[in-house]
Amino acid sequence: MTKTWFITGSSSGFGRIWAEAALNRGDRVAATARSLRSIQDLAEQYGDRVLTLELDVTDRAQVFAAVQRTAEHFGSLDVVINNAGYGHFGMVEEVTEQELRNQLETNLFGAVWVTQAALPIMREQGHGHILQITSEGGIRAFPGIGAYHASKWALEGLSEALWQEVEPFGIRITNVEPGPYATNWLGRGSVSSAPNPAYDSIREASEHEWEVGDPKATAQAILELVDSVEPPHRLLLGKSFGSIAAIYANRVQTWEKWQPTALRAFEVSSDIPGND
């Protein structure tokens, strides 16, 4: 069955690759970007199967208008991918208030506005699938990108509540958590705080040489995901499972070690109704 997709951040990287994958198999796509010029070639290549929309995801009214126009234009809204975002680099002490707010406005609030706009349409249809592109950095953290992690962890938590709220309506939610990929994420849109020399040694020690994957290889996985009758609530893309599993094992070990202390901190209160 032909699907209608709404994808934010379609100008490059994952958004462009997934838009093309959907279009190449005959689906219809509302491709959005902050500049129409960056996605105009999609309209030229795929004709009336693509709707190109200029969109700043931090503008809630513009988001709602774009999502509504997509549903009216194509007659349905089956897949929504919240892909727009950027990375902010800076130690937590270095990040200014405005820098942190900007990061959250795009990566968190932008995804929330798109989700809120799509839900009434999907609920009325009785089906739909929203893919929240969080990150491996939505379930683990590295020094120097705390603001980015804050935005992605927040989206993960919000979406975990969300899927319990909307599954009775036939709406599925998946947190897609890519590891390192060659999407030019560093050079394309990331920004940095003014460095504090006190953190120079930590900055140097935390530098990594990442083994990065080819983002084009994710296209088939995304198609498989949206076609699944029972999609997962979370999907790690890439080779991150081993390191993530080790982090979670360490967390469980620490919780177990401190469980006696935790239990000593709990008493059933007789002041709470029902505990008599």
Give percent of the chain above pLDDT 70: 96
Report the mean per-residue pLDDT for the chain.
95
Instruction: Output the 3-class SS for the chain.
Output: CCCEEEECCCCCHHHHHHHHHHHHCCCEEEEEECCHHHHHHHHHHHHHHEEEEECCCCCHHHHHHHHHHHHHHHCCCCEEEECCCCCEEECCCCCCHHHHHHHHHHHHHHHHHHHHHHHHHHHHHCCEEEEEECCHHHCCCCCCEHHHHHHHHHHHHHHHHHHHHHHHHCEEEEEEEECCECCCHHHHCCEECCCCHHHHHHHHHCCCCCCCECHHHHHHHHHHHHHCCCCCCEEEECCCHHHHHHHHHHHHHHHHHCHHHHHHCCCCCCCCCCCC
The answer to the question of residue 226 being in a domain is: yes
Q: What is the pLDDT of residue 274?
A: 62
Domain CATH code at residue 180: 3.40.50.720
The answer to the question of residue 262 being in a domain is: no
- Per residue in 235-248, pLDDT (tens digit) is 999 999 999 999 99
The answer to the question of residue 109 being in a domain is: yes
The answer to the question of residue 257 being in a domain is: no
- Per residue in 127-171, pLDDT (tens digit) is 999 999 999 999 999 999 999 999 999 999 999 999 999 999 999
Of 104-118, 199-213, 240-254, the one with minimum mean pLDDT is 199-213
The answer to the question of residue 215 being in a domain is: yes
- Work out the pLDDT band at 186, boundaries 50, 70, 90: low
The answer to the question of residue 246 being in a domain is: no
Q: What is the pLDDT of residue 272?
A: 65
Q: What is the pLDDT of residue 1?
A: 87
- Work out the pLDDT band at 28, boundaries 50, 70, 90: very high
Q: What is the pLDDT of residue 211?
A: 83
- Per residue in 255-269, pLDDT (tens digit) is 999 999 999 999 877
The answer to the question of residue 131 being in a domain is: yes
Q: What is the pLDDT of residue 212?
A: 87
> pTM for this one?
0.94
The answer to the question of residue 258 being in a domain is: no
Domain total of the chain? 1
Determine the structural domain holding residue 131 and report its residue range: 4-240
- Work out the pLDDT band at 273, boundaries 50, 70, 90: low
- Work out the pLDDT band at 209, boundaries 50, 70, 90: confident
